[in-house]
Structure 1
Amino acid sequence: MPLNPGPRQRSGETYSRDTGGGLYYLPGDPFAVWEGTFMVGTHSMTAALSDPLGRDELLQEYGFTFANGGGRQRSVDQALSTEPLENLVQLAAKLCGVPYGVINVVTSDEQQQVAAVGVEAAVCAREDSMCAQVFLSGKTTVVPDASLDPRLASNPFVTGEIAAVRFYASVPLETSSGFVLGSLCVFSNSAGTPDKDQLDMLEILARQAVQLLELQRRTLQLNSALDEVRESNAKLAEFAGRVSHDLRGPLTTMLGYVEMAEDEVDGDHPAAEYLQIIGASGHRMLTMLEDVLTYSRMGGVLQRQHVSLQDVAAEVARDLGLSFGPGAVLDSGEMKLHVDPGQLRTLLQNLVANAMNYRSPDRDLSVRISGISNYHGTTVLVADNGKGIAPVDRQRVLEPLVRLHRDGDGHGSGLGLAICRRIVEAHGGELSLKESPGGGTTAVISFPADQ
């Protein structure tokens, strides 16, 4: 619905919105159109809001960056899309029947238009901003003819120096904490006044804009937290790799001396049993250090190549001493993958080794590798018929150093599946576990389509 044009405003007279949402006129000519101040629909405040000293720092939490030294280079975080805000502004302008609308963010010294329709988003000094004059009022401001309003008549957006705004309506963008980011405003070069329904919708859209900006803020906070976690994990993996590397040398030397001592001691000597225990414990420790070192090295820089899934599976079978092919312990379908071949080999070897370590005592081991490709990407399935993993544990065992400690389970470092997950995620994919038909565990490896 377009704005209703009316007689020119009489300076100093206003109309306001009552608590029921209706309009009432203050004393004066009942046929005149006045400058109006409207209460925001869900806001209870009537006093003007304060402008915090740390305004720019608070705005940076919403993805708005500001140049140092008084420069005018203001921008929204490039990782964030302004399209939802632009769509909202376009809707606000259409609902009010005006050609122009913007979402303004007001800094300590400037106004930044972060979304606009009908005009190109720009930056101006705060003292030149119309919205900066009213956005801390705690109310929706409606001005039928800005050229007659004492607050705005000399503004360069009204005088023609920048623009020639006449009708102007502005709703503060206030967060739940009371911080006012800026305003949603619509305007026109012609005088006019909105009706009740148009103002209701404008205030609703302003609240939606605040919700979008709050979502943007939480997204940035989450991204920052994830970056910190990734950096911390990378440093931890690097540290673990260095420690494992430094410990492996002395441990290997110790095991060498244990083997020499075993050769010197008769089998019935009491020391032989102790040396055997020391050797077994040392080899388990060496295996764990190797796993930690492997975990720290996985991911990183990938050397992608187009490789055959079947060829890599055959190499894994040879490494583990398993028969390979139809009807054998390990079999694989054919599929081409664009991955790091070394890391794919480690991934499959860990999964098949897990199947060997946790095989069912009731049936012969069987491991089948297959793949599916479609427009979503590529999925590789590694299915065994072993003991299986309870649903409650399937996510947990993908974490580092997690073991289930079930009866009959062999020794392990608890890093095998964590290494697999790290490899898959380094390729941009996901790893999950489910039950195999007939019992056992199936590892589901999903690679995105661009891989």
Structure 2
Amino acid sequence: MDPAERDELLSEYGLATRVNEAPLAAVPELSPEPLRNLVELAAELCGVPYGVINVVTSDEQRQVAAVGIDAGICSRQDSMCSKVFLSGESTVVPDASLDPRFAANPFVTGEIAAVRFYASVPLETPSGFVIGSLCVFSDSTAAPSGEQQDMLEILARQAVQLLELQRRTLQLNTALTEVRESNAKLAEFAGRVSHDLRGPLTTMLGYVEMGEDDVDGDHPAAEYFQLIGASGHRMLAMLEDVLSYSRMGGSLQRQHVSLQNVAADVANDLGLSLGPGSALDSEDLKLTVDPGQLRTLLQNLVANAVNYPSPDRELRIRISGISNYHGVTVMVADNGKGIAPEDRQRVLEPLVRLRREGDGQGSGLGLAISRRIAGAHGGVLSLRETPGGGTTAVVSFPADH
């Protein structure tokens, strides 16, 4: 394997390959403790005082977990494990001073150490890449049993599984960071475009209204102006939603707020009455959130309920919540048309509309904005069926520790 390719593969495991890079213990996502526990078990199993997990780079041996000695770095040329770790087999040497492979090695001659008993097992991944070795040794001769050697190989396989888990963790963290950066750029772009388009569209609608005033209602152009105006206002509403989506979920100004007070503001915004017997009712609950974003979230959820009522019953919307040491959960339950189970996750995505018969106009961004607000608070928004029919939006706000 090409040395650069080897170092590149090791970097996927969070194992630094240069002197000025951080070793495993300094990588925040990774912990050497589970590896050290395996090394300690291996040394105890073989009855020897020393054990290490070695990572062999293109030019170095790095001890990423060690028992009995301090983890260190040496050149690959001086490493004992580098001479045998690619063999594909375990190496057991009762007395390294008598073995021609190791007799002149500085770890044996006394220049660095005086190793006598030495045993190592390659750390080979399922893809065939050998990361390094699990090694146990002593300054006195020893002869482990076959059962001890078998157990040493089992522990080496466990070490590989831990390193593979660390690799996947790093990959997921990298992917998550890239997705967050991409989403931020997309939101910024959407906000800029919607803002830039809103001005010309508003001007166009102004001229349409002037045209409507100048044209007699019986004139054919009156109908055209009406169609243009309706389409323009729908487009303007869409741009407003896109702009709102791009802005929501940013920096939060958390305050202690009353759920019932925010619900009253939402009712006023939507022209609804609030209280028992009204279309909208709300319990009271104290929570620590961004009040403006909570208001937007509730407004979107209540507006959805208003826009998609059931033709079989009078609309009722109930806002409630529960609080415990986990945090606060807010529920907005309606008795409207409801959402089929297979569509509940899909409608939370931006610009997704079900387009069912009888459904009104919408941008498909209301639920996506609400979900974004919940996520910005560290919470989750989900949908479920209201008993008796309808949809209940469940929004969790974790405790602020």
TM-score range relative to shorter protein:
over 0.9
Whether contact under 8 Å (2:29, 2:170) holds in the other structure is: no
Q: How many Å separate the matches in 1 of 2:66 and 2:242?
A: 53
Q: How does 1:276-291 map to 2 (within 5 A)?
A: 276-291=226-241
Q: How far 1:338 moved relative to its partner?
A: 2.0
Whether contact under 8 Å (1:304, 1:338) holds in the other structure is: yes
Whether contact under 8 Å (1:305, 1:341) holds in the other structure is: yes
Whether contact under 8 Å (2:349, 2:367) holds in the other structure is: yes
- Name 2:260's counterpart in structure 1: 310
SS at match of 1:139: coil
Summarize the Cα distance change of 1:157–1:374 in structure 2 as closer, same or farther, 3 Å threshold.
farther
Q: How far 1:387 moved relative to its partner?
A: 0.6
Q: TM-score, normalised by structure 1?
A: 0.84
Q: Indicate yes or no: 2:13 matched with 1:62.
A: yes
Q: How does 1:84-233 map to 2 (within 5 A)?
A: 84-233=34-183
Whether contact under 8 Å (2:29, 2:169) holds in the other structure is: no
SS at match of 1:62: coil
Once the two structures are overlaid, the 10-residue window that deviates more, 159-168 or 85-94, is 159-168
Q: How many Å separate the matches in 1 of 2:246 and 2:363?
A: 14
Q: How many Å separate the matches in 1 of 2:97 and 2:322?
A: 68
- Name 1:46's counterpart in structure 2: none
Q: Once superposed, what is the RMSD of the aligned Cα atoms?
A: 1.7
- Name 1:412's counterpart in structure 2: 362
Q: How far 1:53 moved relative to its partner?
A: 4.6
Whether contact under 8 Å (1:72, 1:123) holds in the other structure is: no
- Name 1:443's counterpart in structure 2: 393
Larger Rg: 1
Cα offsets for 1:415-445 (capped at 9, x unmatched): 1111111111111111110001111111111
Once the two structures are overlaid, the 10-residue window that deviates more, 113-122 or 285-294, is 113-122
SS at match of 1:98: coil
Task: Kindly provide the amino acid, as one letter, of the partner of residue 316 in structure 1.
Answer: V
Q: How many Å separate the matches in 2 of 1:308 and 1:100?
A: 61
Cα offsets for 1:257-310 (capped at 9, x unmatched): 111221222222222221111111111000000000111111122222222222
Whether contact under 8 Å (1:173, 1:182) holds in the other structure is: yes
Higher helix share: 2
Q: How many Å separate the matches in 2 of 1:106 and 1:441?
A: 57
Q: How many Å separate the matches in 2 of 1:164 and 1:316?
A: 78
Structure 1 alignment gaps of length 5 or more: 1-49
Q: How far 1:176 moved relative to its partner?
A: 2.3
Q: How many Å separate the matches in 1 of 2:7 and 2:370?
A: 44
Whether contact under 8 Å (1:375, 1:449) holds in the other structure is: yes
Structure 2 alignment gaps of length 5 or more: none
Q: TM-score, normalised by structure 2?
A: 0.95
Q: How many Å separate the matches in 2 of 1:332 and 1:116?
A: 60
- Identity level (%): 79
Runs of 4+ in 1 over 4 A off after TM superposition: 50-53
Q: How many Å separate the matches in 1 of 2:265 and 2:4?
A: 65
Q: How far 1:51 moved relative to its partner?
A: 6.6
Q: How far 1:336 moved relative to its partner?
A: 2.1
Q: How many Å separate the matches in 2 of 1:330 and 1:123?
A: 68
Once the two structures are overlaid, the 10-residue window that deviates more, 379-388 or 257-266, is 257-266
Once the two structures are overlaid, the 10-residue window that deviates more, 127-136 or 349-358, is 127-136
Once the two structures are overlaid, the 10-residue window that deviates more, 354-363 or 77-86, is 77-86
Q: How far 1:327 moved relative to its partner?
A: 2.9
Q: Indicate yes or no: 2:307 matched with 1:357.
A: yes
Once the two structures are overlaid, the 10-residue window that deviates more, 410-419 or 160-169, is 160-169
